[in-house]
Amino acid sequence: MSELTYRIKHRTSYEYSGRIDLCHSLLHLRPCEKKGQNVVEHKIHISPSPGFQSVRKDYFGNTTQYFSIQQSHGRLEVTSFVTVTKQEVTPEIPDSRITLDNEAQLSEMANGFESGIPLLNFLEPSCACPNIEQLDTFLKPTIISKHEIIEIAHDLMSRIFTDFTYLPGATQVSTPLIDVLAKKHGVCQDFAHVMIAALRRIGIPARYVSGYLETVPPPGQEKLQGADATHAWVEAYTPKTGWVGFDPTNDQIPGHQHIKICHGRDYFDVQPLRGVFLGAGSQKLLVEVDVERV
């Protein structure tokens, strides 16, 4: 298997109508190191330059960076430059050897730890993934026909891909899960949240993954710079398999084209850029992502 190198440029800019006197931000932008993924280089450029910054690991083990901009400014730009190498893989679907009716094993899992963190974190409802009964209608066809956990997850992924319409702009980060379930459209974040909430409801630990996706241009066309966005997918856990990735937006098991940044209970744990601004006026957000294979 060969090794692939990706160069990623991820730029987020805020344009403010008024002056901002002070801004505090928390970044989740550094891709994680994991099997098959190696970070060669990572730089973050912030403009205007921060008066203070610090880097630490968050509760989930992700690298997070805090900074404050203490001078009056009308525009904020954060650019993350990443070089990662990925092992080229043909994704396989592992077998967990656990079925949904195996209560003993499920409850053992609920009390287990993974990387020092209680798995229960990924079983309890979270802000964007509430435990609502509307999930049952969606779950029903899958749990009738499938029994093994990874198989269930795989089926849910495929069904989100078939039943839901990818419709950028139709939802926002604040759109509640119940609306996404009812209208059956949204973007990758929404699909990930639906799948996570569904898995948790039947007792399978699931977490949200934020990352990048290499998009392959249609045949004969040149790949557009900045056409990509950040991506989101799901990981489900079983003791035998560990975390297994599922991308419901593309009905794919994430492979070398999926570059993972970090994971959390849902989007709000791993927002690429979260900020609190002190100042008057409205803001305009622009995000550009280039994923380039070199």
Partner 1 sequence: MSSHSLSPDSLTETSHYQTMDDRRDESIASDGSIRPEWSELFKSVERHGIEGVARWQETAARISRERGLAYRPATLDESASQGWSIDPIPWIVSAERWSVFESGITQRLRLSEALLADIYGEQKLFKNNLVPMSIVLKHRGFLRTLHNAPPGNGIVGLGLCAFDLARDSKGRTFIVNDRFDRPSGLGLALENRTIVNKVLPNLFRRCGVRRIGSFFADWFERLAQYSNNTDSDPLVVILDDSSQHEDSEISFLANYCGVTRVHPSDITVRDGRVWIKALRGLVPVDVIWKSTPGCGLDALESEIRPCFGIPGIFEAIREGNVAVASHPGSEVIQSAALYPFLPKLCREFLGEDLLLPPVQTWWCGEKAGLSHVTANIDKMVVKSAGNPHLFGTHYGRLLSDAEKTALIGQIRDNPGDFVGQEELEISSIPASRPHGLTPRSAVLRTFSFLGADGTASVMPGGLARVSRVDGMIITTRETGDSKDVWVRSKKEEAPYDISSVLSISGFRAPDIVSSRTGENLYWSGRYAERTSLAVRFASRLIDCRIRGISGVKGFEAEHEKILVDSLFKIFDCPILSPDMTPDARLMSIFKDPNCPAGITFGLERFNYATQSAREEWSPVSVQAISACYDQWIQSINQVDSFFELEPALDELQLNLSAFLGQNLDSMTRDSGWALLDAGRRIERGSNICGLLKTLVTSNLSGEMDTIFNESILYFLDSVRTYQSNFYEKPKTELTTLLLLGENDYPKSITHVLERLYGLLKKLPTPENRPHPRDRIPLISAKLIEFVVELYQWKKHDSFDSKVTAEFLDELIEFFNRLSDILTTSYFSHAEISE
Of 80-88, 100-108, 117-125, 140-148, the window that binds partner 1 (rule: CB under 8 A) is 117-125
Question: What's phi and psi for 191, nearest 5 deg?
Answer: -65, -40
Choice between 94 and 113, CB closer to partner 1: 113
Token pair for 62:
């992700």
Single residue of 124, 163, 179, 292 touching partner 1 by CB under 8 A: 124
Region 134-153 residues binding partner 1, contact defined as CB under 8 A = none
Q: What minimum distance in Å lies between the beta carbon of 128 and partner 1?
A: 11
Token pair for 163:
């039943």
Single residue of 3, 15, 40, 72 touching partner 1 by CB under 8 A: 72
Amino acid at position 268, single letter? F
Q: Is position 268 an interface residue for partner 1 (rule: CB under 8 A)?
A: yes
Q: What minimum distance in Å lies between the beta carbon of 138 and partner 1?
A: 20
Angle at CA 187, nearest 5°, toward 45 and 24?
Answer: 30
Q: What minimum distance in Å lies between the beta carbon of 162 and partner 1?
A: 31
Single residue of 111, 134, 145, 172 touching partner 1 by CB under 8 A: 111
Which of the 8 DSSP states describes residue 120?
Answer: G
Strands 185-186 and 165-166 come out as parallel
Q: How far is CA 236 from the centre of its chain?
A: 13
Specify the residue for token string 């994971």: 263
d(CA 177, CA 187): 12
Quick note: the x/- pattern for partner 1 over 9-38, rule CB under 8 A, is ----------x-xx-xxx------------
Single residue of 36, 91, 118, 130 touching partner 1 by CB under 8 A: 118
Specify the residue for token string 């996706």: 213
d(CA 39, CA 6): 10
Specify the residue for token string 């008057």: 280
Binding site for partner 1 (CB under 8 A): 19, 21-22, 24-26, 48-49, 51-52, 54, 56-60, 66, 68, 70-73, 111, 113, 118, 120-121, 124, 127, 268, 274-276, 278
